[in-house]
Amino acid sequence: MIVEGKNAVKELLKAGRTIDKICVQKGDKAAESLAMQAKEKGAKAVFCSRENLDKLSVARKHQGVIAYTTDFSYSDMDEILDAPEDSRLVVILDGVEDPHNLGSILRSAECLGAAGVVIGKHRAVAVNDTVIKTSCGAAEYVKVARVTNVNDVIRDLKDRFFKVYAMDMDGKELASADLSGDVALVLGAEGSGVSALTKKLCDGAVRIPMTGEIASMNVSVAAGVGMYEYVRQRGLKG
């Protein structure tokens, strides 16, 4: 996997991810410092011109640093559920395809203390270099499970007494929902939202009240609002 950008690579190093090779821009002190840190951990460090880095870059936003690292390591559901009962928040994504949205959701999940994020294997984006960069390193700290069928996960969570809510424009106001105990929030694809079958499996639907002319929020923004409401109802302080 190729990861680009100073902050993303810094978090890889901080989290202990194995980096095989790191290419940095000569003369960029911050980039060279990252190269030295990676080299101390066994990586091959290569110092390049800006032009050569531009040729190597996939995202075209390398900020003077490109790292070649091991693939992202997914968690399983047992790892996500290995948190104190009655205080677990799981975010389930039903067909989210935009890597920038997934990266932003992972960042919010890490900041707001979610137990983990569940994504599907089909018709959904995996954790790739763009997701890692957009998450600003949060992907290294939040547990992500990639599953064959998100509906099976919902059924299992309900059997474990989770309250499962779909975030949907036809639901009741988010603030009126009971988010005590273990909770799962389900968010759908950018265009179509939560699928009808998945919505039927949920205990209910919740919506974010809006007063503007636009009828819907970006899925990553909606996820952040939903996670914040979970934290707000619990009166948690950071």
Determine the pLDDT at residue 207.
Answer: 94
- Consecutive H or E run containing 191: none
Q: Is 56:66 a contact under the CB 8 Å cutoff?
A: yes
Q: Cβ–Cβ contacts within 10 Å for residue 191, how many?
A: 9
Domain count, the chain: 2
Residue-wise pLDDT for 23-38, tens only, equals 999 999 999 999 999 9
Q: Based on the fold, state whether residues 169 and 210 are members of the same structural domain.
A: yes
Determine the pLDDT at residue 80.
Answer: 96
- The mean pLDDT value of the chain amounts to 93
Extract the tokens encoding 8: 């993303």
pLDDT level of residue 146 (50, 70, 90 thresholds) = very high
Q: Based on the fold, state whether residues 60 and 85 are members of the same structural domain.
A: no
Q: Cβ–Cβ contacts within 10 Å for residue 206, how many?
A: 22
- What does the CA dihedral 214, 107, 188, 124 come to, rounded to 10 degrees? 130
Extract the tokens encoding 66: 């490109």
Q: Based on the fold, state whether residues 172 and 203 are members of the same structural domain.
A: yes
Among 33, 68, 103, give the residue marking a domain's end.
68
- pTM, whole model, 2 decimals? 0.89
Among 34, 68, 102, give the residue marking a domain's end.
68
Mean pLDDT confidence for 113-142: 93
Extract the tokens encoding 6: 């100073």
Closest CA to 165 of 188, 144, 145, 146: 188
Mean pLDDT confidence for 7-32: 92
CA distance 46 to 198: 48
Q: Based on the fold, state whether residues 55 and 92 are members of the same structural domain.
A: no
Q: Which domain holds residue 44?
A: 2-68
Determine the pLDDT at residue 21.
Answer: 97
Q: Based on the fold, state whether residues 171 and 228 are members of the same structural domain.
A: yes
DSSP 232: H
Q: Based on the fold, state whether residues 98 and 209 are members of the same structural domain.
A: yes
Q: Based on the fold, state whether residues 54 and 97 are members of the same structural domain.
A: no
Q: Based on the fold, state whether residues 165 and 83 are members of the same structural domain.
A: yes
Q: Is 26 exposed, middle or buried (0-12, 13-18, 19+ CB in 10 A)?
A: middle
Among 38, 68, 98, give the residue marking a domain's end.
68
Determine the pLDDT at residue 40.
Answer: 94
Q: Based on the fold, state whether residues 91 and 55 are members of the same structural domain.
A: no
Mean pLDDT confidence for 168-197: 92
pLDDT surpasses 70 at 198: yes
Determine the pLDDT at residue 212.
Answer: 84
Dihedral sign (CA 24, 29, 34, 35): positive
Q: What is the CATH number of the domain that holds 49?
A: 3.30.1330.30
Q: Cβ–Cβ contacts within 10 Å for residue 16, how many?
A: 9
Q: Based on the fold, state whether residues 212 and 109 are members of the same structural domain.
A: yes
pLDDT level of residue 136 (50, 70, 90 thresholds) = confident
Q: What is the CATH number of the domain that holds 215?
A: 3.40.1280.10
